[in-house]
Amino acid sequence: MLDIKFVREHPDIVKENIKKKFEDHKLPLVDEVIDLDKKIRDLKNNGGDLRAERNSLSTKIGSLMREKKLAEVEEIKKRVVEINNQLVDIEKEEGVLTEELTKKMMVIPNIIDKSVPIGKDDSENVELQKFGEPKEKPFEVPYHVDILEKLDGIDLESARKVAGNGFYYLTGDIARLHSAVLTYARDFMINKGFTYVIPPFMIHGNVVNGVMSFDEMDQMMYKIEGEDLYLIGTSEHSMIGRFIDTIIDKNKLPLTLTSYSPCFRKEKGAHGIEERGIYRIHQFEKQEMIVICEPEDSMEWFNKLWSYTVELFRSLDIPVRTIECCSGDLADLKVKSIDVEAWSPRQKKYFEVGSCSNLGDAQARRLKIRVKGDKGNYFAHTLNNTVIAPPRMLIAFVENHLNEDGSVNIPEVLRPYMGGKSKIEVKK
């Protein structure tokens, strides 16, 4: 959410930013919030004048009582009652207008960074750099579900009976591989100096509103019926929410945290052949990284975060590339975002396995996360990035390490987490 003062003083910049995101239907919001802001400020000024008058009259009543001018006292008391009634009406109207202003402000997109490429949607995202050389397999690579079934590592049919489409059972060595990857990723981030956290997997509605846009919430979040609780779509939600209404001493920044959680997503609109299997699902587990820092440090941290994901995947001998999200593909709270994509030998193309985002002070402003500095308090900047998110990353893993006989090699760095195994053998 932007600062209303910024919108008031720079409406042209806010409107130009909306145009860059190809959200022209939101342009009227700028003038609407400026008008609401003026009405609220006028009400506050009127209320201030009335309170000053009431204070003056209260002082006058004391003086008149001492002089026993009771008739004048009664007249003044009537005026005090009028003022009190007017203040009640003003506060009520101010509350209604403030709520309306907040709703509109939360829909206006954050100001994107100047380096963000301009484009309408993800088809106009820009490739930045490739890491590792994709290796062509001398045999046809099967669909990932077929690979996993030969390893006796997945049961989708039973999952459909139990929970429906978008769920899965992982079994045996594949289930162990899934856990091994998460544990390796946890230790990888701890070795980078991050503090490991296991957060709540459900959050209140006010935290949801603080960490994401309304469109994202509708597309992603599952609500617990009859309660003010939502299942998290990523641990970023509860990790950032942890600092709601807090003032952090600047000497304690940056806060560098890595968190494990299951994630739950509706995945509205998912379609196409690659939505089958375990590519796009309703439940998965993830290791995340979160940073809360000084505003001037956020871009430096942004570049560190996505580079950690690249480094992790390369340590597993999986080729990846980085993609910069264009303006039209950025969620409203984001200042800048880079996706990390892994190579798929079957599809002979890259697919997304993680996303790194700088949200500026948008989440901090919504959740009132402030920094105590030398010259007063100000809003922190927040960033998040996927360390690793199986089972999707397992697709890249088994495809890149698949042997012609159907077995899958285990990279050396992962073998200690797999009981020393160097290979997962075909079971059927």
Q: Is the pTM of this model over 0.75?
A: yes
Q: Which two tokens stand for residue 214?
A: 């309304």
Query: Is 350 domain-assigned?
Result: yes
Query: Is 117 domain-assigned?
Result: no
Regarding whether 385 and 353 lie in a shared domain, the answer is yes
Query: Is 113 domain-assigned?
Result: no
CATH code (residue 85): 1.10.287.40
Cβ partners under 8 Å of residue 306, min gap 6 = 322, 338, 340, 354, 356, 385
pLDDT number for residue 271: 47
Task: Please give the tally of structural domains in the chain.
Answer: 2
Regarding whether 342 and 293 lie in a shared domain, the answer is yes
Q: Which of 101, 109, 104, 114 has the alpha carbon at shortest distance from 15?
A: 109
Q: Which helix (H) or strand (E) holds 20?
A: helix 11-20
Distance CA 101, CA 171 (A): 51
Regarding whether 144 and 16 lie in a shared domain, the answer is no
pLDDT number for residue 75: 83
Regarding whether 63 and 194 lie in a shared domain, the answer is no
**Domain final position from 73, 105, 137:** 105
- For the chain, the distance separating the N- and C-terminal CA atoms, rounded to the nearest angstrom, is 54
Regarding whether 145 and 97 lie in a shared domain, the answer is no
Regarding whether 218 and 96 lie in a shared domain, the answer is no
Regarding whether 177 and 84 lie in a shared domain, the answer is no
Report cis status (omega within 30 of 0) of the bond before 254: yes
Cβ partners under 8 Å of residue 140, min gap 6 = none
CB 382 within 8 A of CB 255: no
Q: Which helix (H) or strand (E) holds 341?
A: strand 336-344
Range of the domain at 301: 122-424
Sign, Cα dihedral of 217, 221, 225, 227:
negative
Regarding whether 166 and 57 lie in a shared domain, the answer is no
Cβ partners under 8 Å of residue 130, min gap 6 = 319, 320, 321
Regarding whether 402 and 283 lie in a shared domain, the answer is yes
Query: Is 270 domain-assigned?
Result: yes
Query: Is 40 domain-assigned?
Result: yes
Cα dist from 71 to 58, 68, 80, 85, whole Å:
15, 9, 14, 22
Query: Is 214 domain-assigned?
Result: yes
How would you write the pLDDT of the chain (428 residues) with one tens digit per residue?
Answer: 899 999 999 999 999 999 999 999 999 999 999 999 999 999 999 999 999 988 888 878 877 777 777 788 888 888 889 999 999 999 999 999 999 999 999 999 999 999 999 999 999 999 999 999 998 899 999 999 999 999 999 999 999 999 988 899 999 999 999 999 999 999 999 999 999 999 999 999 999 989 987 677 777 889 999 999 999 999 999 999 999 999 999 999 999 999 999 999 987 555 443 456 888 889 999 999 999 999 999 999 999 999 999 999 999 999 999 999 999 999 999 999 999 999 999 999 999 999 999 999 999 999 999 999 998 999 999 999 999 998 889 999 999 999 999 999 999 999 999 999 999 999 86
Query: Is 115 domain-assigned?
Result: no
Regarding whether 367 and 272 lie in a shared domain, the answer is yes
pLDDT number for residue 402: 97
Regarding whether 126 and 95 lie in a shared domain, the answer is no
Q: If you ran DSSP here, which 8-state letter would residue 402 be given?
A: B
pLDDT number for residue 277: 80
**Domain final position from 42, 76, 105:** 105
Query: Is 110 domain-assigned?
Result: no
